[in-house]
């Protein structure tokens, strides 16, 4: 079964020369990738000194998160290898993407989720795409441990980011940014959970730099939620907690890889509180019209933190020189987590169905 897209969109179609695919690889694609890099005049102004801030809006992928980039490659390679089933642990987005791409490839998908800790939109996706949804009494780290154990004995392909095809697909976001900007940015800011994405971006930046497609490499700046910050604290967090459920992870699988990206790029890992995350989520939606899920807002919260001179001294955030170009990845769509959004909203204004009453309410 070879599934070819009808046009040249999709991560594999666009970037196949840089991906581990051959003529024998089926394209299991939903036309993912090629997401917009949106200039943010308001964030640029807040930074001042001729700095420019761009937002890579990964929530506009087919299942609403950056996971689709890696999943198209992981599922294509799994089908090529003859897999009949895939499995993953997830805080929600990986499971949504795995379920969708497995449906597309007509193979079975099982997802292991921490019970009661998945944003409703993501759970709905896993069900609708037809996955076997298993809620374990434990957190994401427990679910990933179980998936590793199952992968050792059963003939079922693991599609977590410990599968190297996932990071291969995800690195294409860096390629797109370099194409859009004409060069790599000076700083790349993103949320960190299992630490696969920061590692994948760094792979992409290094690869294009090696190929002479960019003149520089960005400093990678990662933000973890304060209650789930193992890389920042340099120790496993047994009971991670945060409102940003996507990054509620205490023992990241790509920890070593991420450390290398941070170290080689001259970047840092820092933390933002739940309050800062929620404030940044609301700010981005109401000021720039970009609605992202809480985990994604960690990058914007981090940018705000790095602008605060008091906070800046506290930690090792590098100074941002005048004229810098900064890309913030926002990883998932705001509609994924309707419960958090509802809690962020003010009440509706009740009114009779009368024009004059409404005009009075509008102060007209």
Pick one of 194, 228, 251, 306: the residue that binds ligand F0G (CB under 6 A): 194
* Contact characters 36-65, ligand F0G, x per CB under 6 A: -----------------------------x
Minimum CB separation of residue 173 from ligand F0G in Å reads 11
Using CB under 6 A as the binding rule, whether residue 174 contacts ligand F0G is answered as no
Q: Count Cβ atoms within 10 A of the Cβ of residue 164 and give its class: 0-12 exposed, 13-18 middle, 19 or more buried.
A: middle
Minimum CB separation of residue 15 from ligand F0G in Å reads 19
Nearest-angstrom CA–CA distance, 153 and 151: 6
CA 229, chain centre distance (Å):
16
Minimum CB separation of residue 253 from ligand F0G in Å reads 8
Q: Looking at residues 228 to 287 of the shown chain, list those that interact with ligand F0G (rule: CB under 6 A).
A: 246-247
Residue 37 near residue 180 (C-beta atoms within 8 A) = yes
Q: Would you say 195 or 220 has its CB closer to ligand F0G? A: 195
- Neighbouring residues of 252: CB distance < 8 A, sequence distance ≥ 6: 192, 193, 194, 195, 230, 231, 258
Residue 113 near residue 135 (C-beta atoms within 8 A) = yes
* Contact characters 97-136, ligand F0G, x per CB under 6 A: ----------------------------------------
Pick one of 193, 204, 230, 250: the residue that binds ligand F0G (CB under 6 A): 193
Stretch that binds ligand F0G, among 90-98, 145-153, 211-219, 356-364 (CB under 6 A): 90-98
* 67-98: b (≥16 Cβ within 10 Å) or e: bbbbbbbbbbbbbeeebeebbbbbbbbbbbbb
Nearest-angstrom CA–CA distance, 17 and 7: 17
Using CB under 6 A as the binding rule, whether residue 332 contacts ligand F0G is answered as yes
Q: Would you say 26 or 191 has its CB closer to ligand F0G? A: 191
Using CB under 6 A as the binding rule, whether residue 296 contacts ligand F0G is answered as yes
Stretch that binds ligand F0G, among 178-186, 194-202, 302-310, 315-323 (CB under 6 A): 194-202
CA 133, chain centre distance (Å):
21
Nearest-angstrom CA–CA distance, 353 and 125: 36
Please give the radius of gyration of the chain, using alpha carbons only, rounded to the nearest integer.
20
Q: Would you say 68 or 186 has its CB closer to ligand F0G? A: 68
Using CB under 6 A as the binding rule, whether residue 76 contacts ligand F0G is answered as no
Q: Would you say 21 or 159 has its CB closer to ligand F0G? A: 159
Count residues binding ligand F0G (CB under 6 A).
Answer: 22
Stretch that binds ligand F0G, among 4-12, 24-32, 71-79, 91-99 (CB under 6 A): 91-99
Minimum CB separation of residue 91 from ligand F0G in Å reads 4
Using CB under 6 A as the binding rule, whether residue 195 contacts ligand F0G is answered as yes
Minimum CB separation of residue 147 from ligand F0G in Å reads 11
Tokens (6 digits) for 334: 């705001």
Nearest-angstrom CA–CA distance, 241 and 250: 9
Using CB under 6 A as the binding rule, whether residue 204 contacts ligand F0G is answered as no
Residue 190's beta-bridge partner residues? 222
Using CB under 6 A as the binding rule, whether residue 90 contacts ligand F0G is answered as yes
Stretch that binds ligand F0G, among 8-16, 30-38, 71-79, 185-193 (CB under 6 A): 185-193
Stretch that binds ligand F0G, among 43-51, 84-92, 281-289, 320-328 (CB under 6 A): 84-92
Say whether 42 sits in a helix, a strand or coil.
Answer: helix
How would you write 175-220 as a 3-class SS string?
HHHHHHHCCCCCEEEEECCCCHHHHHHHHHHHHHHHCCCCCCCCEE
End-to-end CA, the chain: 63
Nearest-angstrom CA–CA distance, 331 and 72: 16
User: Which residues of the shown chain bind ligand F0G in the complex (CB under 6 A)?
Assistant: 65, 67, 90-94, 161, 191-197, 246-247, 293, 295-296, 331-332
């Amino acid at each position: 079964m070879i599934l070819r897209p009808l046009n040249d969109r999709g991560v594999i179609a666009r970037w196949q020369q840089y991906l581990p695919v051959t003529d024998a690889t089926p394209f299991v694609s939903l036309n993912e990738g090629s997401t917009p890099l949106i200039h943010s005049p308001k964030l640029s102004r807040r930074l001042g000194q001729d700095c420019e801030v761009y937002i890579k809006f990964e929530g506009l992928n087919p299942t609403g998160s950056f996971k689709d980039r890696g999943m198209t490659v992981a599922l294509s390679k799994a089908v090529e290898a003859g897999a009949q089933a895939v499995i993953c642990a997830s805080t929600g987005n990986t499971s949504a993407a795995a379920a969708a791409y497995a449906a597309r490839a007509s193979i079975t998908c099982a997802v292991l989720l921490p019970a009661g800790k998945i944003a409703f939109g993501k759970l709905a996706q896993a069900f609708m795409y037809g996955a076997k949804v298993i809620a374990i009494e434990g957190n994401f780290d427990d679910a990933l441990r179980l998936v590793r154990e199952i992968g050792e004995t059963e003939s079922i392909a693991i599609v977590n980011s410990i599968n190297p095809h996932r990071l291969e697909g995800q690195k294409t976001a860096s390629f797109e940014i370099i194409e859009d900007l004409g060069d790599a940015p000076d700083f790349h800011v993103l949320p960190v959970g299992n630490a696969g994405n920061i590692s994948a971006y760094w792979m992409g930046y290094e690869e294009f730099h090696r190929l002479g497609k960019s003149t520089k490499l960005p400093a990678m700046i990662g933000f973890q939620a304060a209650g789930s910050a193992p890389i920042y604290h340099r120790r496993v967090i047994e009971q991670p907690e945060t409102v940003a459920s996507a990054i509620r992870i205490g023992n990241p699988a790509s920890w070593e890889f991420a450390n290398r990206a941070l170290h080689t790029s001259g970047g840092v890992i820092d933390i933002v509180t739940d309050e800062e995350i929620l404030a940044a989520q609301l700010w981005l939606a109401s000021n720039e019209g970009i609605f992202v899920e809480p985990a994604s807002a960690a990058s914007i919260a981090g940018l705000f933190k790095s602008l605060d001179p008091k906070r800046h001294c506290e930690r090792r955030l590098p100074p941002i020189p005048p004229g810098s170009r900064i890309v913030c990845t926002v990883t998932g769509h705001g509609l994924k987590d309707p419960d958090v959004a509802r809690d962020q909203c003010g009440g509706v204004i009740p009114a009779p169905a009368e024009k004059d009453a409404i005009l009075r309410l509008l102060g007209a």
